[in-house]
Amino acid sequence: MKLGRLEKLDLRTYWKREATEFTPWLAQKDNIQLLSETIGIDLEVVGQEESVGPFSADILCKDTLNDHFVLIENQLEKTDHTHLGQLLTYAAGLDAVTIIWIAQKFTEEHRATLDWLNRITDDQFTFFGIEIELYRIGDSVPAPMFNIISKPNDWSKQVKRSTNSQPVTDTKLLQQEYWQGLKNYMESNKSFVKMQNPLLQHWTNIAIGRSHFSLSALVNSRDNSISINLNITGDDAKDNYDKLYNIAYNGSLTEISNEIIWDKLESRKMSIVMLRTSGNFTNKNDWDNQFQWFKEYIEKFTTFFKPIIAKI
């Protein structure tokens, strides 16, 4: 069997100018999705050369799970101190932010600096160093590849946050173990849904591709139940709930479950669409059954609601 050979291309043969060619290319939906998959954060582009207070980033995004800013700085050359200074300025001026530095090549000192920043900052700040490469096989269309050079130490930051904000009880540790088990189950069974890293809490969030909409998987030890929520938040939560209800209510009963519950939560600033079943998360012998239920319905929620929400 004859195999092709990867040929590495000079980035400048495809993107002559960083600001007018590479940045607009990266901001396109399919390309930002490739970056999202690489770093494990669901990104929604807000704009290019957008101001955030007194700052301006090449691309401004939102993390759809928590609505935090994600600032992307592009550099189609080897990293330099000028761009590092910009990143530090952003971090100093914003309350919570993820900063992604994309470059053709990282020097060892700049990679080490990002690693150091990820160690000393709390979980409100995360720094990614990404090298971009371009390949083709024969006369094929060039294909980009993002390589993570530096990333947050999620486990260390989660432990730091947990110990600073709440007592680490046996129940909290079991909840974290449960969510890690669900994450492992989803991955080993090749689910298309990406799960976040587990935390010491009774829920875990799942991105659905747009700010102010997210899924949550929850466990409740008081009534021995497990559930999935589609959360609708933000200033327009009630209007968005009404729009979604008018478009999707009937379909949700047939495509997901006739036991699905739509609740506008008139007294609160959010609305939910929920599905619940019995399940005692403290019973480890039943975890596989619960994980199977979660996988089935998280995928159904995602498949059904994601394209509808994208159009609202």
Q: 74 falls in which pLDDT band (50, 70, 90)? A: very high
Query: Rounded CA gap, 85 and 73, in Å?
Result: 11
Q: 154 falls in which pLDDT band (50, 70, 90)? A: low
Count Cβ atoms below 10 Å from residue 137 Cβ, excluding itself: 13
Query: Rounded CA gap, 123 and 109, in Å?
Result: 23
3-state helix, strand, coil in the chain (%, to 5): 40, 30, 30
CATH number of 6-153: 3.30.1300, 3.30.460, 3.40.50, 3.40.1350? Answer: 3.40.1350
pLDDT digits (tens, 9 = 90+) for 186-219: 999 999 998 988 888 899 999 898 889 999 999 9
Instruction: Write the single-letter amino acid at 224.
Output: N
Residue 164 has pLDDT above 60, yes or no: no
pLDDT digits (tens, 9 = 90+) for 250-288: 999 999 999 999 999 998 999 999 999 999 999 999 999
The pTM of the whole model exceeds 0.75 = no
Residue 130 CA to chain centroid, in angstroms? 16
* Average pLDDT over every residue of 71-85: 93
Q: 163 falls in which pLDDT band (50, 70, 90)? A: very low
* Predicted local confidence at residue 211, as pLDDT: 87
Domain ranges within the chain, ordered by starting residue: 6-153, 166-311
- Spatial neighbors of 199 by CB under 8 A, at least 6 apart, are 158, 162, 176, 179
Are 305 and 230 a contacting pair, CB within 8 Å? Answer: yes
Count Cβ atoms below 10 Å from residue 141 Cβ, excluding itself: 6
Residue 69 has pLDDT above 90, yes or no: no
CATH number of 166-311: 3.30.1460, 2.60.40, 1.10.10, 3.10.150? Answer: 3.30.1460
- pLDDT over 90 percentage in the chain: 63
* Predicted local confidence at residue 280, as pLDDT: 96
Helix (H/G/I), strand (E/B), else coil: 308: helix
* Average pLDDT over every residue of 4-8: 87
CA-wise closest residue to 12 among 166, 154, 134: 134
Count Cβ atoms below 10 Å from residue 24 Cβ, excluding itself: 14
* Predicted local confidence at residue 161, as pLDDT: 54
* Predicted local confidence at residue 239, as pLDDT: 96
- Spatial neighbors of 3 by CB under 8 A, at least 6 apart, are none
- Spatial neighbors of 204 by CB under 8 A, at least 6 apart, are 179, 182, 195, 196, 198, 216, 217
